[in-house]
Every structure is written in C-alpha cells, then in structure tokens.
Amino acid sequence: MKLKETLAAKIEAARPRTTRLLKEFGGAKIGEVTVAQAIGGARGVKCLVTDISYLDPMEGIRFRGHTIPETLKHLPKPKGKAFPFVEGHLHLLLTGDFPTAGQVDELVDEMHARRKVPQYVFDVLRAMPRDSHPMTMFSTAILTMQRDSEFKTAYEKGLDKLTAWEPMYEDVLTIMARLPVIAAYIYRMKYKSDTHIAASETLDLGGNFAHMMGVKSPYDELMRLYFILHSDHESGNASAHTTHLVGSTLSDAFYSLSAGMNALAGPLHGLANQEVLRWIQGVYDKLGGKVPSKEDLKAFVWETLNSGQVIPGYGHAVLRKTDPRYEEQRNFCLKYLPNDEIFQVVSMLYDVVPPILEEQGKAKNPWPNVDAQSGVIQWHYGVTEYDFYTVMFGVGRAMGVLSNLVWDRALGYPIERPKSLTTAMIEAAVGIK
C-alpha cells in the first residue's frame, strides 16, 4: 500500500481515541504546574501530545515505540549498506509501521519526483550576503517556497477539517524531498567556490546528500545514520514545539518549519554541534596547535565554566544519562575512524566533563548529548565548515516535526494558547503579601 493510503487508514483508526479522551475524560488531571515550571521554561509540564516519539529521561528516545538500535535494525537498507533508508524512517515516523522494501522503493521514487527546487529559491539564496549564516539561508529558502504551499491553496478554497492533513502531507513530502538539495546547494555555494553537483537519479536521500556534498563513501552511511538520529526528540524541544505552535495557527508547513529551524539555530539547541567544534578549536588555539592532554582539557573546562559559559554538547533538559544518539555516533567512530585525533579528544572529554559538571553542581545532567559527538565525524570526512552543521541537523529534524504537523491536522489539534499570569498573581497565590 502507498504511504498516503497507509497513513489515511492509521488516521481513521487514531481519531476515535482522541475524540473519546476529549469527550469522556477532558477534565481529568495528568499533571500540575509549579511556580518553578512557570518561571523556568515550562520544564517537564505535561501539556503536549504526540505518538511519533517519546523521550525517557533514563532510556533516551524511542521512535514510534522503538529504541535507536531497534529502529536501525528493522528499517530496510539500500543494497550493500549498513545503515537504513532515511525515507523508510520517514514512513515509520508518519505511520508507526516499519515499511516493506517495496514501500521504501516507492517512497524513494516519489521523493525523486518531488525534488526539483524552484529556481527562485536559488536566486534568493544567491542574493543574500554570502557571509549570512547557513541556518539563515536554510530557513529563508524554506520560507521562500511558501508561495507553492498546497495547504495554503486548500485553505483559500475552504479547508475541510477531516481532510486538512492531506494537503499538509503533500507539502511535507515535497519539503522533505527538497531539503537535502537546498542544504547541499548552500554548502557548495558558500564553501566550495560555488561549484555544484547535480542530484543523482538513482540514489536514496542519504546517498544523494553525500553525493551532492561531494564527499565519498562511507559519508553516505554517516548521513543515513545522522538524519535518522536527529529526526525527533518528542514535542517539547524548542524546534519541534515552535513548528507545532506555528502550525497550530493553520500556518502551512513552510511557515512552520522555517520558524522551527530558527529555534534550532540557537546555541542552547541545534547550534551546540558547531559550538562543540569551536570550543575544541579554542583548546587547540590556546595550546598553540598541540593535542590536548586530559589535564589541559580539565583546565579548559573549568576556565569555560568559570567565565560563565556552558560546556557545549553536555547536559539536557530531559535526559539524565548519556544520550543514546551520542552512543550510536560513538559506535560509528569506533568502527570507521577510531584513530581520528579529534575523536580521541571527544572521547577524553567524555571522561573529563561529567565529573567536573557534577563537582560544579549546577547541571542536572552531566552527560553528553547528541551534539558532543556529531561534529567530529563531519570534520573527519572533510566537512570542517562547522557553521554548516546545524543545517544538517535541520534536514534530519524536519522529518519529525513535519510528521507531527501532518498528525496535528489529522487529529484537529487547536491553536495553542497557554495562559500567563503576572508576577503579582503568583506572589498572591503562594501567600507573599
């Protein structure tokens, strides 16, 4: 069965569950909000619903109920390759089912057919100052394509609540097909003397991205893994939540994703992967190019903390152990680049940083997150322009947040509107006169 038909059946089956919860149990409590949560970024407040992924503080992410190793094991893989089709993962996120090999082939073909990026997108990118941050370019390119939104057109004609997910789905597939092309274009325009490599007619999304970037195998394997690992981290993280919030106003997927990417561009979120490399570069600069020892790293970690900055790639708002996305990338490094010098520095940091963060006693989670490891692999394969790393994170993250948008429309989630209080109201509520 084609992806859209499979999805339609899943949506029909899911709708009555949401309707029943609202009708029969709408008043039931599932949590409470403390003063610390209201002032402190709604940390842990249970007020979002998604079935696409769930983040357990100790176990890490599950995609549609499956851990990362299970996901990588059961998704179909291109012939002779160790890592799965990214397209298959999109199918899993959207429907909850692992696709068959035939279903993946169909989706790969469908993505090929949708991949052509309109010339005006490149014209806009070329008109921007060449030193604009690649995330600014990426977000702009997505927003520029909004004029072609099928959802917007359907809205203008009169949107039917029951079928609103369909034009959203069309936009989502088109965006996912085009993002790797746009990302590789930005990379080569900015960093490879504006020379470009045309997309292949035969390769899958991950393979094609590596091909358009101009980086040889096993970079294709890395990018399959990378896009899958970065795809989703339930709904409360800043990029997912922003995309959902904007989409809840019935903005289309182009507006919503562009906004989500602007959230990803923050140094406390996706930009941390470039910050890790910048931070390590700072250590090398300080040591006049010498490979740092554990003692050097300890001193530099303390220096960073004492100057009031965070250690990029460490800590997490939800996780309370080493991020399994870090572990999966570490396994990749151990297999493909065990002797890489920066990988060894990153490994030393794994020993050095957690005890120091524990000693400092501020961070609730002293362990590394996904960003601590991802940059070093890119660096190894010659993608040393670390400003670009968050764009690749964005291509992966788009899969999760866009799958959520389709389901938001399928289940008819309303416009988001939490309630704010004044400081005086909170003071009164806790008895401060």
Ligand X SMILES: CC(C)(COP(=O)(O)OP(=O)(O)OC[C@H]1O[C@@H](n2cnc3c(N)ncnc32)[C@H](O)[C@@H]1OP(=O)(O)O)[C@@H](O)C(=O)NCCC(=O)NCCS
What's the closest the beta carbon of residue 310 comes to ligand X, in angstroms?
Answer: 4
Site string for ligand X, 22-61 (x = CB under 6 A): ---------------------x------------------
Q: Exactly one of 362, 384, 418, 426 binds ligand X (CB under 6 A); which one?
A: 362
Measured between its terminal Cα atoms, the distance across the chain in Å is: 65
Count of residues that bind ligand X according to CB under 6 A: 20
Phi, psi of 380 (to 5 degrees): -55, -40
Residues 280/342, Cβ–Cβ less than 8 Å: yes
What's the closest the beta carbon of residue 365 comes to ligand X, in angstroms?
Answer: 6
Q: Cβ contacts of residue 400 below 8 Å, gap of 6+? A: 52, 53, 93, 231, 232, 233, 240
Told to check if 317 binds ligand X by CB under 6 A, we report: yes
Q: Closer to ligand X by CB, 180 or 313: give it.
A: 313
Total number of residues shown for the chain: 433
Residue at 266: amino acid letter:
G
Whether cis (ω within 30° of 0) applies to the bond prior to 218 is yes
Q: Which is catalytic among the residues 171, 204, 296, 371? A: 371
What's the closest the beta carbon of residue 309 comes to ligand X, in angstroms?
Answer: 7
What's the closest the beta carbon of residue 268 comes to ligand X, in angstroms?
Answer: 4
Q: Report the C-alpha gap between 399 and 172 in whole angstroms.
A: 9
Q: Closer to ligand X by CB, 208 or 365: give it.
A: 365
Our answer to whether residue 371 is catalytic in this structure is yes
**Position closest to ligand X via CB:** 315
What's the closest the beta carbon of residue 148 comes to ligand X, in angstroms?
Answer: 32
Q: Report the C-alpha gap between 402 and 167 in whole angstroms.
A: 13
Residues 297-316 that bind ligand X (CB under 6 A): 305, 310-316
Told to check if 292 binds ligand X by CB under 6 A, we report: no
Q: Closer to ligand X by CB, 214 or 267: give it.
A: 267
Residues 368-427 that bind ligand X (CB under 6 A): 369-371
Our answer to whether residue 252 is catalytic in this structure is no
Our answer to whether residue 241 is catalytic in this structure is no
Range in contact with ligand X (rule: CB under 6 A) among 9-17, 57-65, 109-117, 265-273: 265-273
DSSP structural state of residue 117: P
Q: Which two tokens stand for residue 298?
A: 């300890």
What's the closest the beta carbon of residue 49 comes to ligand X, in angstroms?
Answer: 21
Single out the residue of 322, 333, 337, 344 nearest to residue 374, CA to CA.
333
Told to check if 328 binds ligand X by CB under 6 A, we report: no
What's the closest the beta carbon of residue 117 comes to ligand X, in angstroms?
Answer: 29
Cα–Cα distances (Å) from 195 to 31, 184, 187, 214, 294, in that order, read 54, 11, 10, 10, 41
Cα–Cα distances (Å) from 210 to 142, 198, 224, 292, 428, in that order, read 21, 12, 9, 31, 58
Q: Which is catalytic among the residues 91, 316, 380, 408? A: 316
Q: Exactly one of 46, 73, 335, 364 binds ligand X (CB under 6 A); which one?
A: 364
Q: Is the four-CA dihedral 65, 66, 68, 72 of positive or negative sign?
A: negative
Told to check if 231 binds ligand X by CB under 6 A, we report: no
Q: Which is catalytic among the residues 66, 89, 269, 380? A: 269
Q: Closer to ligand X by CB, 76 or 312: give it.
A: 312
Q: Is the four-CA dihedral 88, 91, 92, 97 of positive or negative sign?
A: negative
Share of the chain residues as helix, strand and coil, in percent rounded to the nearest 5: 60, 5, 35
Q: Closer to ligand X by CB, 84 or 313: give it.
A: 313
Residues 345/297, Cβ–Cβ less than 8 Å: yes
Q: Exactly one of 268, 287, 291, 334 binds ligand X (CB under 6 A); which one?
A: 268
Q: Closer to ligand X by CB, 42 or 49: give it.
A: 42
Q: Closer to ligand X by CB, 326 or 407: give it.
A: 326
Residues 231/393, Cβ–Cβ less than 8 Å: no
Phi, psi of 22 (to 5 degrees): -70, -45
Q: Closer to ligand X by CB, 96 or 236: give it.
A: 236
- Please list the active-site residues: 269, 316, 371
Give the binding site for ligand X (CB under 6 A).
43, 268-269, 272, 305, 310-317, 362-365, 369-371
